[in-house]
Structure 1
């Protein structure tokens, strides 16, 4: 199949606690797919885009689970490689009543971490119109970092657009200085950069959305959209800037995956040729739907569900 959007990274099998409390107290778990890039791939596929995901998984039952789940979601996995000598990554996640859950990773030395430039399928990648990346792969290993740089440079040469969510994972980096340097270097090569406000402050040393966006504009980023949580988002290009308010939700169930949902909204909106404000509004909407659902991708909507949510929100605003 030809693809519209390509992404890559590590997908893991997630075991999430069925009862609220400390992770070490949990006695029963459910199983699900996890991984920032696969969350985005699934979200875009549910909106009707043809999406490819490239990685490595272990030749084990958890690797089979991941590939089966992505196949169900109509994500193309034709370039995923399986490794008998390496395992698929695992994560454990607590259940919370409010706030962020506790997450523990078991991913060091995983199959995905061995991805190198020698695994890069150039012809497969260049058929896509757009590539989405996160800051997780370059943190996993030297080989994956080189793969990331190679993919970005190749896709830029091919004239493709690139979106980049820093998705900072402090525990994966050797030190903060390396993390900041690497993320900012990759951001400067991206077309659309999507940091959260706390990430932007750390990466730039600046304090306001306007200052942070200007920093990346000066680095050559075409569009920076800064996530502000329930307050919405701030965007800036060379020509325009502005705030787009968020959506109130009845109850926050799980915040993990909200940023990935936001990326789905930006990417899909811009590829659908929506005005930037409407693309950001869509991103806010999908982020809101994501936090109201328990799993990382349970809240990622179909087009029908997304349009219904936006219509309901507009009616409430008119009625209010």
Structure 2
């Protein structure tokens, strides 16, 4: 790539780890029994945050050639981070950090970083062409603690400056990572040490922006007097200095250092409850860089940084808590903010929608999550129910035959008969939905081995979308309607708490007479209850006017909804294809999730022994492919 080209805004260099966050709040690490797995490491957190805020970003680090390293890489790619500089180290493991939230001031953490992959980074990992492809390079203090990582950081900084790029320094001081604290004191932020100060200051002449807390300014400047420390830094660098002041906001010093902190450009913070301070500094850096790299005034950059930090301190985790740009805009426009910020449902919804996995302009799903229907087929054919699982693996093969690893395809699969197929689908790129309702239950019951539905869903992989079918009519008797609504509200809350998407399937036609607005009324009722499914699955028989009503209801109540897929109701293939014409007019309809129309006849013949595996796969693939082609044809006809 020619040096004059700047494909990226920002490249960060440094540590990348997996954070295991204690899920029990208010106790010791010793007493925590469950942990959530997130991406971690200061520069990695920042680069994810910056990407979500709209910057084009890349990362230079090492991860282990292990499951955790692949997890980091996949999460970076999902957030749009360029991973060309992320190297897999076959000799070392990915770093781990165990963290907890004890109280509003105490956040214990243990770093597992002995001979970890990211601290093996060296000069050979620095591709100068890659560095020059960005307008800015971000260095962090932890990666100045050893000769090899210092050399790598220095080479990157020099390459950036030689190409006319800018260098940002996040002081990022963790005494324990410099060998200055006991290993169980990972949360301690300051230990004075002249050798550390000397090492950190070696990078200062190359810096254009320096960011740190007061304690970090102290270690960099070699004084516990903040003004004196900044003046020592100023002697070595003309960089813009940003001093983070926690809940008070931050102060900027573009020129000479004044006599007091308050004489700088002080930008106040946002008063919110501090739930988890870990990650706030990384979020601040991401927000500040969003403005700074786009030429915003310093005050505006500080506001972005303060806002991003305020959002993240209100949440569990670091990287997953980073806001997207739409969320930042919403936060800054709020006229009133609750002190417990995470209780603002709209803000949390905007965040959730901004971090969901994948983008689906089209989704065509082969649905064979049926349980009672397959049991009926097996019984009518005098076949053993044990064969249901084997047939479902054939159905997955049929999907794969058509989809050819195209992520616009998906499966609906159950864990009762379809567990082997679910396990196989884990290695495929397809959207996966999984039913939670007890088959044919009305009022709605959950098909779980637990009294609490959240406990059941917590055992599912995060990429499994929770699918719930409700036989619901807005004119149902009040007691039935209210009972079902309570179940759906419980389920929605469970999905958000376990970080699973929800597909809500509504069938009105089996519960009463329907007209052009019946489905719309049902949808509106669930929105009124605060339920915001990621997906809707609806009956296909609506006409163009009905779909217009449905689309208006969804877009008005939740413009961030992923969309609608059509269900099949075992309709004949020709009838289903005919229904595509009116549904395709609605932009909110992304495809279909059809099952019995595809598998019913091949399954019956297979269970009777009339056809073998290959013929069953071929028959299902042919039917599924015909529906896919028909849907795409209908959609194309209305998007010309």
- Please, what TM-score do these two structures have when normalized by structure 1? 0.92
Q: Deviations over 1:167-196 (max 9, x none)?
A: 101012145222111112223321100111
Give yes or no for the alignment of 1:178 onto 2:195. yes
Residue pair 1:100, 1:256 contacting (<8 A) in 2 also? no
Aligned to 1:256: 278
Task: Find the partner of 2:245 among 228, 232, 241.
Answer: 228
SS at match of 2:158: helix
Is 1:126 matched up with 2:149?
no
RMSD of aligned Cα (Å): 2.0
Tell me the CA shift for residue 97 of structure 1. Answer: 3.3
Instruction: After TM superposition, give the deviation of residue 209 of structure 1 in Å.
Output: 4.8
Could you list the per-position Cα deviations for residues 49-77 of structure 1 after superposition, in whole angstroms to 9, with x for gaps in the alignment? 11001111111111111111111111111
Q: What residue is the counterpart of 1:3 in the other structure? A: 8
Aligned to 1:169: 174
The SS at the match of 2:231 is: helix
Q: Structure 2, unaligned stretches of length 5 or more?
A: 1-5, 181-192, 258-263, 339-640
Preserved CA contact (<8 Å) 2:221 2:231: no
Shift, 1:114, TM fit: 1.4
Shift of residue 130 of structure 1?
A: 0.7
Partners of 2:35 and 2:336 in 1: CA distance = 38
- Which SS does the other structure have where 2:84 is aligned? coil
Q: How does 1:184-223 map to 2 (within 5 A)?
A: 184-206=201-223, 209-223=226-240
The 1:85/1:203 distance shift into structure 2, 3 A limit, reads closer
Q: Which residue of 2 aligns with 1:149?
A: 154
CA distance in 1 between counterparts of 2:223 and 2:195 reads: 18
Higher relative contact order (CA 8 A, sep 6+): 1
Partner of 2:313: 291
Q: Pick from 267, 270, 294 the counterpart of residue 247 of structure 1.
A: 270
State the shift of 1:298 in Å: 3.2
Q: What is the distance in 1 between the residues matched to 2:293 and 2:220?
A: 27
Does the 8 A contact of 1:100 with 1:254 survive in 2?
Answer: no
Q: Distance in 2 between matches of 1:184 and 1:79?
A: 26
Alpha-carbon shift at residue 218 of structure 1 (Å): 2.5
Assess if the C-alpha contact under 8 Å between 1:189 and 1:221 holds in 2.
no
Q: Using structure 2 for the length normalisation, give the TM-score.
A: 0.47
Query: How far apart are residue 83 of structure 1 and its match?
Result: 2.0
Contact 1:254 1:291 in 2 (8 A): yes
What is the DSSP-based 3-state SS (H/G/I as helix, E as strand, rest coil) of the residue aligned with 1:79? strand
Q: Which residue of 1 aligns with 2:22?
A: 17
**Gap change, CA 1:118 and 1:38, over 3 Å in 2:** same
| Superposed counterparts of 1:34-183, under 5 Å | 34-139=40-145, 141-174=146-179, 176-183=193-200
Task: Say whether the 8 Å CA contact 1:58–1:85 is kept in structure 2.
Answer: yes
Deviations 1:251-270 (A, max 9, x none): 21100111111111221111
Pairwise CA distance, 1:45: 0.5
- Corresponding position of 2:390: none
- SS across alignment from 1:224: strand
Paired residue secondary structure (2:159): helix
Deviation of 1:88 after TM superposition, in Å, equals 0.8
Q: CA deviation at 1:204?
A: 2.5
Q: 1:275 aligns with which of 282, 297, 304?
A: 297
Residue 310 and residue 94 in structure 1: after superposition, are their counterparts in 2 closer, same or farther (change >3 A)?
same
2 CA distance for matches of 1:209 and 1:170?
18
Aligned partners of 2:8 and 2:134 also within 8 Å = yes
Q: Are the equivalent residues in 2 in contact too, given 1:163–1:267 (CA < 8 A)?
A: no
Query: How many Å separate the matches in 2 of 1:112 and 1:169?
Result: 16
Contact 1:217 1:223 in 2 (8 A): no
Structure 1, unaligned runs of 5 or more: none
Question: What do residues 108-138 of structure 1 show as CA deviations (whole Å, max 9, x unaligned)?
Answer: 1112221111221111111100111110112
Q: 1:60 to 1:306 in 2, by over 3 A?
A: same
Paired residue for 2:481?
A: none
| CA separation of 1:174 and 1:181: change in aligned 2, threshold 3 A | farther
Helix, strand or coil for the counterpart of 2:319?
A: coil
Query: Is residue 230–residue 246 contact of structure 1 (8 Å, CA) maintained in 2?
Result: yes
Q: Hey, what does 1:300 align to over in structure 2?
A: 322
Instruction: Return the alpha-carbon distance in structure 2 between the equivalents of residues 113 and 148 of structure 1.
Output: 11
Q: 1:118 to 1:270 in 2, by over 3 A?
A: same
CA distance in 2, matches of 1:309, 1:11: 28
